[in-house]
Every structure is written in C-alpha cells, then in structure tokens.
Amino acid sequence: MAGTSALSHGDDGLFDPDSAPPFPRSVTIAVVIPLPTALLVLTGAATGLVGSLLGLGGGVFLVPILTLAMGVPIRAAVAASLFSVIATASASATVNLSRGLVNIRLGLVLEVATSLGGLAGGLAAAYLSQRQLFLTFAITLLAMGIAMARRSGRRNVIADLATDPGPLGGRLTEAGASYVYRVRRLPLALGASVVAGTVSGLLGLGGGIVKVPVLNAFCGVPMRVAAGTSTFMIGVTASASAFLYFGRGDVALPLTAAIALGALPGSLLGARFSDRFGTRSLKVLMTGVLILVAVRMALEAW
C-alpha cells in the first residue's frame, strides 16, 4: 500500500523519541507524525472546500483518503475528521448565516437529536468492529443516494408569500425571487438526525450526508437551507463525540491539528463559492458523492 514507508516507526528525523507522547497510545502518534504536515494541511483544505460546498463537512472524503491512501489507523482518522468537521462548521456557518441560509429554530430542534446520536455514536465507537460499521454505512449511503436521485426534481417551496411558514419553516430569497417553505414530517427529520449523529460519532462524518437529503427530499426544506442549517448543526454534533475521542486519547495531535488548520480556510472558501453552484448541480454532485462513497465503504468492508 502506498505510504507504507511513511508508516514505519521513523528514523527519518521527524519523530523525536525524546518528546515522548504524553499518553500511552504512542503507537498511533509515532505512526502518524512522519506524514508531511504540508500534505495534511492541503488535504484538510481540499476536503473542507468540497465539504462546505456540499454542506457535508468533508469527513466523507477525509476518512477514506486518510485510511486508504495514507494508511492512517481508522480511529485516528475518524478523530481527525471530527475536528475538521468542527472547523468546517464553525468557519462556514458565518457565511451561511449572513446569507440567511440557516434556519436556527429548525437547527436547534434537530440538534437535540444529533447531539444525543453523536454522544451515543462516540461511546459505541469503542466497542464495534469497523468492518460492520463500513458495511452498514455503505448501505445507508446507497439508500440516500437513490432517494436523492429519484426526488431531486421535486419543487418543495411555495411561491405564494401569504402562506404561513409555521413555527419551523421560513422564507428564502433566491435569484431575486422569494419563497416560503414549511417543514413537513418532523418526526422523520428527527429520526434522520439521530441516525446522522450516531453515524457522525462512529465514522467522523458530520452527518450532513444523512440529514441534507432527508430534509430536502422528504421534509420540504429547500436544498440551500438544508445544507446551510446542516452546516450550522454539524459542529455541535461532531463536538459531542470529539470530546470522547479526545478523552480516550484517540486524537493524534499533529495530524489532527494539520487537518483542522487546513479545513478552516478551505471551508470558508467553499462556503463563499457555494452560491455560484446551481441548486441542480448541487443535487447531482451530492448524488454522485453518496454513491461513490458507498462503493468505497463497501470495498473497505470486504
């Protein structure tokens, strides 16, 4: 596998045995340090950029890249991914807020579900086999991708501005026109959020990949608001589980720091450019991503 040489306990000067890691999982740290910092920062930036374009958080790409291409142990990769998700969410939420793409009330209600899921997923991560996880996740993603592809043409906003958006709905101005949307099937949105939070805690994927398609395809939330509100939430979701990874000593400091540092400017850039993408291309891109990652995850489980 590529990068095997970079994984050996290095005599290549980058790992200094005198500055011994402060906690016992020194193996993880010794393994991870020899990867060039610049490469990790760039990886964090690239995944942060694509992640915030899609409202996902970037973990979808980061975990496969770190584990498959760079040979980072899965637990360290998931921990790094959780921190990059927090960085992405925090950096790009400011852009989305000023554009009115965050529905704070809806975000709060769903965060109750995602944060509990994140806590549960973060706790369960220590006990479950990664093989089972990858396979379950591949199936979930594939289902999401299919649901997205089948319903992507649906209009779910109401042009009549006199309609009451309800306590959780809202208004959106897009391309000069104003729309009203109502949130439908809230229990479904809450259920999807628990699943999203759990998946986030287990595999380090902010959870947007589960919530955004469900909110858009089934709950009447416009794509941009679904993505913007999801980005607003995933920081909270990810931090609920990241605390546990941090406490368990699964966080490889230099690796995670480099990835998170790159994710900050990357996701800010992605959030700024996201309005140049048509809603249509956003949906097509999202469907492609879901299926691609599903196949990758299934191969990993094999």
Partner 1 sequence: MSNDLHSLDRAIELALSVGVLMSGACLILGLWLGSTPLLRWGLVLLLATPMARVVVVTFGLFQRRDWLFASISLWIFLVLASAASVGLHLRP
Footprint of partner 1 (CB under 8 A): 19, 21-25, 37, 83, 86-87, 89-91, 93-94, 97-98, 100, 103-105, 108-109, 111-112, 115-116, 118-119, 122-123, 165-167, 169-171, 235-236, 238-249, 251, 253-254, 256-258, 260-261, 264
Q: Is the dihedral of CA 133, 134, 135, 139 positive or negative?
A: positive
Q: How far is the CB of 4 from partner 1 (least distance, A)?
A: 24
What is the Cα–Cα distance from 288 to 98, expressed in whole angstroms? Answer: 29
- Answer for the pair 267, 55: CB distance below 8 angstroms, yes or no: no
Instruction: List the Cα angle 20/23/25 in 5-degree steps.
Output: 95
What is the Cα–Cα distance from 189 to 195, expressed in whole angstroms? Answer: 10
Q: How far is the CB of 290 from partner 1 (least distance, A)?
A: 25
C-beta of 145 vs 206, nearer to partner 1: 206
Q: Which is nearest to 95 in space by CA: 218, 228, 203, 262? A: 228
C-beta of 109 vs 139, nearer to partner 1: 109
C-beta of 10 vs 249, nearer to partner 1: 249
Burial of residue 155 (CB within 10 Å: 0-12, 13-18, 19+) is exposed
C-beta of 61 vs 83, nearer to partner 1: 83
C-beta of 34 vs 169, nearer to partner 1: 169
- Answer for the pair 85, 59: CB distance below 8 angstroms, yes or no: yes
Q: How far is the CB of 292 from partner 1 (least distance, A)?
A: 28
Q: Is the dihedral of CA 120, 33, 231, 148 positive or negative?
A: negative
Q: How far is the CB of 134 from partner 1 (least distance, A)?
A: 24
The neighbour count for residue 100, using CB atoms within 10 Å, is 15
C-beta of 127 vs 302, nearer to partner 1: 127
